[in-house]
Amino acid sequence: MGAWLTLVIFLPAAGAIGLWAVRRPEAVKAAALAITLAELLLSLPLWGSFDRTTATMQFVAEAPWISRFDIFYRVGVDGISLPLILLTTLLMPVCVICSWRAIDRRVKEFMISLLLMETAMIGVFSALDFVLFYVFWEAMLIPMYLIIGVWGGPNRLYAAIKFFLYTLAGSLLLLIALIALYFEGGRTFDLMKLMEASYSAPFQFWVFWAFFLAFAIKVPMFPFHTWLPDAHVEAPTAGSVVLASVLLKMGAYGFLRFCLPMTPHASQLAMPFIAALSITAILYGAYMALAQDDLKKLIAYSSVSHMGFVTLGIFVFNVQGVEGALLQMINHGVTTGALFLCVGLLYERTHSRMIGDYGGVARPMPVFAACLVIFALSSLGLPGTNSFVGEFLVLVGAFRISPWVAALSALGIILAAVYLLWMVQRVVWGATRPAVERLPDLSWREAVTLAPLVGLVFWIGVYPEPLLAVMHHSVEQVVAQVGRESLPDGAHLLVRWIAGGGAGPGVVPGVVP
């Protein structure tokens, strides 16, 4: 099955090369759709034959690449990366379909960028060699830069350069961390070996912060988030979807794959700080979303808020929190991707992203309105939808660390209802404005892009067990890895003091394992 995984990684890139030969734009689109659909089908056996009873890497493939420095082509997946890979392969056909009419020039180049992007993203999620990881990590940057910079809105160059430079700055620190770990971890780039090695506390401290900056920019965490609204506003719909659904997960994935297992000590030390930043992101993003008049900016800032739950869940270091964070990564990919699709649909019709230009969309476009309301409800974490399960787990995990952390984060779910339902009220409800009176409802092509996402929203909300079963052992392993080094007493006290100390008054102790 290792070869299978390699096939999954490189099929889109191979398809991209093949696409050069295709001439007519319509044929290019059809070919790109066929490739992404084939890729989706190809990735499904990974889900089917994944062993849910172990945390070890599966479908591992290994080949020497630059053996002088122990650099290998080494890939494999576990319960953390598999759901993310499937999210990617599921969303790429959606991205191709939603670009069908929205992209009308340089179609071939656009589709090639998307396909290269897919290979790079799946590569990041499955790389088990640090250099390979870094190559994929950097390789993601270029197609995304082109997608924003070539096919974007009026201010696309500013947004693209900001995105590129910002993330490149983070990457450089990642490179430094990579080299440092190579020497300290026994001259190897094997991620599994690097996770097993133990490092001195000061070393962990420096490496952690290098990691932190690289990943925090990608997430993005407050205050490194300002590239995100610009990138989203200028990016074409498919770009926004990829950015929100998959690229934002890279940072959180990095925290899970590198920070927690390799620098457990430093991670624990940094926990109060990151919890504070996460809560700030949750509340700040929500307030920002409340103030926006631009639909894409509103959703972009809601992403900042939602990703705050993810980073919070990762850094509470218990199974509920981490599992919730991982599930929330998937949920955010589904829901926010869908919301960007919805905005894209509206934009294609009216060429406006301003909330004030809409109103009463429900009457001309009832099916679209139903979808938008469903995704908004999912985004605000209504029970029965996907986000509720994720947010609930994150908050349970946070509550076990400190009730105050959970209480402050819970303010975020109130604000989420405010900004999302207010948006729905202004866009969907109300008297139908003349400008939107004659808008056509969803076409079949559009309905096909939204339908699987609606299905996922309810499936994960009602019956998340299959997904949780895949994640479970890997999450437990990460929690065990970060827990293997305990802080010295003084530092521990500091952490507990900042985090609010214990699980509140009068608790029956030791019931929860």
- Site residues (CB under 8 A) for other proteins, limited to 166-225: 166, 179, 183-184, 200, 202-203, 223, 225
Query: Shortest distance, CB of residue 256 to other proteins, whole angstroms?
Result: 16
Q: Which two tokens stand for residue 259?
A: 């920070």
Residue from 476, 491, 496, 498 binding other proteins (CB under 8 A): 476
Binding of residue 152 to other proteins (CB under 8 A):
no
Query: Shortest distance, CB of residue 27 to other proteins, whole angstroms?
Result: 28
Query: Shortest distance, CB of residue 324 to other proteins, whole angstroms?
Result: 9
Q: Which is nearer to other proteins, 91 or 221 (CB)?
A: 221
| Closest listed residue to residue 116, CA positions, set 28, 14, 7 | 14
Distance CA 259, CA 84 (A): 18
Q: Which is nearer to other proteins, 154 or 513 (CB)?
A: 513
| Closest listed residue to residue 313, CA positions, set 405, 205, 204 | 405
Distance CA 491, CA 25 (A): 61
Q: Which is nearer to other proteins, 136 or 258 (CB)?
A: 136
Query: Shortest distance, CB of residue 36 to other proteins, whole angstroms?
Result: 24
DSSP per position, 35-52? HHHHHHHHHHHHHHH--T
Binding of residue 472 to other proteins (CB under 8 A):
yes
**DSSP H or E run through 181:** helix 156-184
Q: What single DSSP character describes residue 244? A: I
The packing angle between helices 295-314 and 319-350, to 10°, is 170
Distance CA 13, CA 19 (A): 10
* Contact (Cβ atoms closer than 8 angstroms) between residue 456 and residue 450: no
Sole window of 78-86, 93-101, 339-347, 359-367 interacting with other proteins (rule: CB under 8 A): 359-367
Site for other proteins in 488-507 (CB under 8 A): 503-507
Binding of residue 288 to other proteins (CB under 8 A):
yes
Site for other proteins in 10-39 (CB under 8 A): none
Residue from 23, 48, 431, 490 binding other proteins (CB under 8 A): 431
Q: Cβ neighbours of residue 414 under 8 Å, at least 6 residues apart? A: none
Distance CA 261, CA 215 (A): 15
Binding of residue 146 to other proteins (CB under 8 A):
yes
Binding of residue 448 to other proteins (CB under 8 A):
no
Sole window of 6-14, 82-90, 237-245, 400-408 interacting with other proteins (rule: CB under 8 A): 400-408
- Characterise 383 by phi-psi region: left (phi > 0), alpha (psi -120 to 50), beta (else): beta
Residue from 407, 439, 491, 498 binding other proteins (CB under 8 A): 407
Q: Count residues binding other proteins (CB under 8 A).
A: 92
Sole window of 2-10, 45-53, 271-279, 404-412 interacting with other proteins (rule: CB under 8 A): 404-412
Residue from 78, 118, 129, 323 binding other proteins (CB under 8 A): 323
Residue from 319, 338, 343, 482 binding other proteins (CB under 8 A): 319
* Contact (Cβ atoms closer than 8 angstroms) between residue 302 and residue 285: yes
Q: Which two tokens stand for residue 347?
A: 């934009």
Site for other proteins in 411-430 (CB under 8 A): 411, 413-415, 417-418, 421-422, 424-425, 428-430
Q: Which is nearer to other proteins, 5 or 326 (CB)?
A: 326
Distance CA 224, CA 214 (A): 10
Binding of residue 48 to other proteins (CB under 8 A):
no
Binding of residue 320 to other proteins (CB under 8 A):
yes
Query: Shortest distance, CB of residue 341 to other proteins, whole angstroms?
Result: 17
Binding of residue 353 to other proteins (CB under 8 A):
no
Sole window of 103-111, 112-120, 189-197, 402-410 interacting with other proteins (rule: CB under 8 A): 402-410
Distance CA 20, CA 204 (A): 46
The packing angle between helices 386-401 and 403-427, to 10°, is 150
Distance CA 447, CA 7 (A): 30
Binding of residue 438 to other proteins (CB under 8 A):
no
Q: Mark 450-469 with x for binding to other proteins (rule: CB under 8 A) and - for no binding.
A: ------------xxxx--x-
Binding of residue 135 to other proteins (CB under 8 A):
yes
| Strand pairing class (71-77; 58-66) | antiparallel
Sole window of 103-111, 244-252, 342-350, 389-397 interacting with other proteins (rule: CB under 8 A): 389-397
| Closest listed residue to residue 250, CA positions, set 125, 114, 379, 87 | 125
Q: Cβ neighbours of residue 460 under 8 Å, at least 6 residues apart? A: 327, 330, 331, 334, 385, 386, 389, 467
Q: Which is nearer to other proteins, 22 or 421 (CB)?
A: 421
Q: Which residue matches tokens 């490189």?
A: 10
